[in-house]
A and B are shown apart, each in its own frame.
Chain A
Amino acid sequence: MLTEKRFRRLVESYGANLQHWPRNIRGGAERLLDRSARARALLEAARGLDDVIEAASTHEAAILLQPQEMNAALARLRANVGAQIASPAAQEAWKQRFAPSLTATWPIFSGIGWIGISSVGGLAIAAGLLIGTLYQPESRSVSALAMLMQPAPIHILTN
């Protein structure tokens, strides 16, 4: 159960707007307000300061947080952040972040990088060409084309 002492502390912190209060305490605060006139008076007394803070905040927002200015600021933020993370220095730092783990996993790439990949690819191509030249298909005595060009035999009836 929420005590008046605890209620006062919460009012001093969060003010009169129960929506600012911790969610799990609001129910207890409402029940206390139902039965305690002193609690209601405390809450009402806090509203004055709440209203002043809200007025100050609204005025500040009207100056500092104009929608057009905010949109422009967000556009600048996106552009600047995008440029920074795309910079060559940022790219190199990103690669360095992952390269150590890769070289540890695959030592063959250690210090070789692209040269290693290119060498492996070149060897694969060379091996394919070599196999192709070494293997010769069996030659036929009569080519299929020659057979097709042969005229069909003419059968002459002989009686």
Chain B
Amino acid sequence: MNANSIGRQVSWLALLPWAPSQCVPMLGPRGYAKASDPELLAWSASGDRRAFDEIVVRHGPFALRVALRLVRDSVAAEDMVQEAMLRAWSKAAQFDHSRASFTTWLYRIVVNLCIDYRRRVTPEPLPEDFEQTDPSANAGELLDTGQRLAMLASVLGDLPARQRAVIALVYEEGMSGAEAARVLGMSAKAVERLLARARASVRERLVAHDLIKGTRTC
């Protein structure tokens, strides 16, 4: 049974004059906090906005963290995540749990929106706290640890979109390579190659800014 069939079973509620979410009390209280993602999604598919709010509470933080790391602009990141959530709401009835987990599906929407955003727009200026430094400066001229860290963060943030995404998913959010592959819509082998390229890109930039020695490391 997928969200679509469950949604159809209560779809007659659509004929009632009041808004769909107001029908929920007629069905009795629901344990939203303890419900599984498939249950919440099925309820959402039948118009239960409270169930979808639980989905936002449950998965919003992860989505916001990844989006913020990818686009590095709080307004844009919130817009991306909001758009992803609205797409999840509109397609809740069509989601098939036998093909993918809900988290994979949602995070894929978030990551793809962020990657598309990065490709479309010029990189935003770093937040004031980032202590902007001249990227051509050598680390030897940077006496302040904070400035060095700012440059390191800048190197990370300037990676190509998909490389930054895989670093965020695997290193920062602790996903396995297989999980990251599903989110990115790639094979596990392709994710390994992407991770290797990302690490190589970071190393090259760090060497260029004299932040690490230029000897070959992994």
Contact = CB atoms under 8 A, between A and B. Distances in A.
Query: Does chain A bind chain B?
Result: yes
A83 to B, nearest CB: 10
Contact of B81 (A16, A77, A94): A77
Interface stretch (B25-33, B96-104, B114-122, B196-204): B196-204
Contacts of B20: 91, 94-95
B218 A81 contact: no
Interface stretch (A29-37, A55-63, A128-136): A55-63
Interface stretch (A66-74, A141-149, A151-159): A66-74
Given A15-B218, A82-B49, A52 B86 contact: no
Interface in B153-207: 153, 155-157, 167, 170-172, 174, 176-178, 188, 191-193, 195-196, 199-200, 202-203, 206
Interface residues of B, number: 66
Contacts of B74: 64, 69, 73
Q: What is the interface of chain A mostly: helix, strand, loop, or mixed? A: helix
Interface of B: 7-8, 11-12, 14-15, 17, 19-21, 47, 49, 52-53, 56-57, 60-61, 64-65, 68-69, 72, 74, 77-78, 81-82, 85-86, 89-90, 93, 127, 129-130, 149-150, 152-153, 155-157, 167, 170-172, 174, 176-178, 188, 191-193, 195-196, 199-200, 202-203, 206, 211-212, 217-218
